[in-house]
Amino acid sequence: MQALQSHYWSIRDYLSPVLKESKFKESGCITPEEFVAAGDFLVYKFPVWSWQKGDASKIRDYLPQDKQYLVTRGVPCVRRAQSLAYTDADEDAERLLSFGETSVAGGGEEWVETHANRKPTFDSAANAGVIDEIPDLDAPHDVAARMGGLSLSGADDNTATPDLDDIPDMEEEDLEAGDEATAAPKKPAQQPEVQKTSNQATTITKDNLLQVRTYDVMITYDKYYQTPRVWLIGYDENRSPLTPSQIFEDVSADHANKTVTIESFIHSTTLQAASVHPCKHSSVMKKVIERMNNSVVAEQLAQRKAKEGKKKWLFGRKSGGTEKDKKGAQTEEEEVEGMRVDFYLVVFLKFIASIVPTIEVDSTASF
């Protein structure tokens, strides 16, 4: 059934026309040329991304041969998506905290502690476990007690003083012990403890290093939906490929086995990867771009008015002016560039980060 569905999708993609007109602000869709422009901007600003060719038999003729899809490798995934799930159960109850006696009378500050009864999880580096109790410095120590019992008078008869003749001479010692050629062979260094879990053959080294999963993330262009499409290939701590069930552990419960499925990678003949289905990408991107475009337009208009104010202050205000000039100024003020299509993939990755919240796919967080 999966093979039949993949074959149907490939035929549908082949018969779909290529988008020629730019509609990314109106519908959230982009053309192949705009996909390449947005990919070039992403690679330029964030070098962790790079263009790839793919298999020669899977090349899309509407894209450049050396820019078939984008890829970034070794993306960390520290936690599972289930650890981020919040519920309204009793364990997530809220508690009102009061500081000081004045808060009871209404004169102080009160705080609300959320998830008061929630049990801590130990699946991240933030939860290091229970710390052993530190001994008190003021308490008497065994060493001090033993030192107090020593005597310099030699009254202890049980301790026999060795005879000077029994002390060996330094010349009789093996002076060649320091020579590496004649020295005794050293014991091999103790190897770190290795533990294998019962459900899978996963090697875990106890060397205080955080063992995390990693993912290879690819972005392709979907000609049918006219939007980018994300593919995920996961690896465990030993760089062994993850099973589909393990990959779904890193996907939010609302999308696992629904919008995220395991399919054949479109630029490879043998590779299988988890894919985020792009059926809703255009509608979501349209809403996000509308909000961002409004803020960008307002900022650009404010910058233009500031520049015009400086020019009027430097050269003086012009007297009069025809009605045609006034209309031209209004249209020029209304026609601003707004959000450029170069930023499309930057916004797109922030949207994908909500589907896979524990996989750090958004490398543009500081942008």
- Whether 272 maps to a domain, the answer reads yes
Edge-to-edge strands, sheet with 69-77: 50-52, 69-77, 213-222, 227-235, 272-276, 260-264
**344-352 vs 32-45: helix axis angle to the nearest 10?**
80
Domain holding 217: CATH number? 3.30.1460
Q: How far apart are CA 79 and CA 125, in angstroms?
A: 9
Instruction: List pLDDT tens digits, range 68-108.
Output: 999 999 999 988 888 776 555 545 566 666 655 544 455 55
Check pLDDT > 90 for residue 3. Answer: no
> Which residue segment(s) compose the domain that 44 sits in?
1-86+210-286+342-355
Please indicate whether residue 29 is annotated as part of the active site: no
Q: How far apart are CA 339 and CA 348, in angstroms?
A: 14
**What is the count of structural domains for the chain?**
1
- Whether 178 maps to a domain, the answer reads no
Q: What is the mean pLDDT of residues 171-200?
A: 51
Check pLDDT > 60 for residue 287. Answer: yes
CB 228 within 8 A of CB 71: no
- Whether 313 maps to a domain, the answer reads no
- Whether 10 maps to a domain, the answer reads yes
Catalytic residue among 183, 209, 279, 329: 279
CB 273 within 8 A of CB 316: no
- Whether 170 maps to a domain, the answer reads no
Instruction: List pLDDT tens digits, range 127-163.
Output: 545 555 666 666 555 555 565 555 555 555 555 565 6
> Considering the chain, what is the average pLDDT of its residues?
74
- Whether 122 maps to a domain, the answer reads no
Q: How far out from the chain centre does Cα 2 lie?
A: 30
- Whether 242 maps to a domain, the answer reads yes
- Whether 249 maps to a domain, the answer reads yes
